[in-house]
Amino acid sequence: MNTQPRLIEVRQNVLKQNDLLARELRVRFQAAGVYVVSLVSSPGTGKTALLEKMLTIFREEWRVAALVGDLATDNDAARLARSQVPVKQITTGTVCHLEATMVERALEGWNLEELDLLFIENVGNLVCPSSYNLGEDLRIVLLSVTEGEDKPLKYPTIFNTADVAVITKIDLAGAVEFDEHAAHANIQAVRPGMEIFQVSAKTGEGMDELKQFFRMRNAECGVRI
């Protein structure tokens, strides 16, 4: 017997439930005036390092906080706590992506009115996070110079559902012979016109441009960040 249609039906239902909740979250975020940014990438691209840097720099200008998703450990939350902003871990167990319901639960006890900018670090995974809307205003996909310029071609969906690409660990570009031209061309091939930033969380290179981008977003959206 072929059980395929039933499985597809269940999956579509889960996605639909997620979308409904994500829409509710989005309404809540907008009402509270908090701009929400999610980070997606494969494991090891430096999401947490970039996030720590952003939290540390951005807290001078905005009221920032972060939710950080991981399969098992709360190491990332402990690390991010050094930035001295509110941070909460979402441990997903066996689930390899964040869902809107996990975000909703993690936000319990937080007053969103007291925030300007909320970051959500997804579980390191380039596949299913693309299907789960978390109510975010902006999705950033990270690509590190150490992982190969063809990642966008291999995982076009995640690049397609993201709004901005950030190339990380740019301080290592020379050592790994990173082909910047190819990386940009591949990103543009799957998502024409996508804005691309190049940063190093280690040296701080590119962080000013990223901060300036958030300032401009603020002006465009009329969101209070």
Residues that bind Zn ion (CB under 5 A): 96-97, 128
CB of residue 123 vs Mg ion: minimum separation in angstroms? 8
Q: How far apart are CA 115 and CA 100, in angstroms?
A: 19
Contact flag: residue 83 with Mg ion (CB under 5 A): no
d(C-alpha 85, C-alpha 50), whole Å: 15
In the bound complex, which residue of the shown chain has the CB atom lying closest to Mg ion? 48
Which of Mg ion, Zn ion, none does residue 153 bind (CB under 5 to 8 Å by kind)?
none
Work out whether 125 is an interface residue with Mg ion (CB under 5 A). Answer: no
In whole angstroms, how close is the CB of 201 to Mg ion at the nearest point?
A: 12
User: Any contact of residue 52 with Mg ion (CB under 5 A)?
Assistant: no
User: What is the closest distance, in whole angstroms, from the C-beta atom of residue 125 to Zn ion in the complex?
Assistant: 6
Question: Is there binding between residue 76 and Mg ion (CB under 5 A)?
Answer: yes
**Binding piece for Mg ion, criterion CB under 5 A, among 41-49, 92-100, 159-167, 186-194:** 41-49
Residue closer to Zn ion, measured from CB, 30 or 91: 91
| Residue 151 partner contact from Zn ion, Mg ion, none using kind-dependent CB cut-offs of 5 to 8 Å | none
How many CB atoms are closer than 10 A to CB 36?
26
- The verdict on 48 binding Mg ion (CB under 5 A) reads yes
CB-nearer residue toward Zn ion: 125 or 200: 125
Binding site for Mg ion (CB under 5 A): 47-48, 76
